[in-house]
Amino acid sequence: ADMRVSEALYTRAMKRREVDPSEARQLLETAAEQGYGQASLAIAEMYGKGSCGHEVEPTKCAYWLYRGASAGCVAAMFELGRCYDSGFGTDGDPEMALYWYRKARDGGCAWAAQRLDREPKPVEAPAPRSRSVEVPWVLLISVCIALFSVAVAMYHPAFADHP
């Protein structure tokens, strides 16, 4: 469908929202069905806030955010990330939240960039330790000195037991 038509439907719906919520909802659904992400975002907002004759329905809100995000609406990507972050309308999934925050940031959403800046940075795991036994150097040197002393005592004539 021509995006200009979808955009016109969306614009008309936003103007009619307060006057005739039912008509606004129908116009938005038509625009959303044609792939206009902003319309999906507006429908999600209706379900998320319980406006335009809708009850608050978190699952439907998340569904319409997904539709908008999939259509390329950056604001819907960010809001969907928030849903996954909080569990609103979703099972809550930190990895999915980060996925949608990154998509929104990459689309130019400053709020998503700020949210990702608060995310703890991955810590590098320490290098795996060798399976060989690590002997402290001091102990190793002490053993060497002791063995050297025993060798000297055994073979040096000054330490011999015989006259």
CA angle (111, 115, 119) in 5-degree steps: 165
- 148 to 140, 155, 161: CA distances (angstroms): 12, 11, 18
Among the ranges given (1-5, 58-62, 105-109, 132-136), the one the predictor scored with the smallest mean pLDDT: 132-136
Place of tokens 């000297």: 152
Per-residue pLDDT tens for 3-31? 666 666 666 666 666 667 777 778 788 88
Please state the φ and ψ torsions of residue 145, each to the nearest 5 degrees. Answer: -65, -45
Can you give the pLDDT at residue 11?
Answer: 67
Helices (H), the chain: 3-16, 21-33, 37-49, 58-70, 74-86, 94-106, 110-117, 137-155
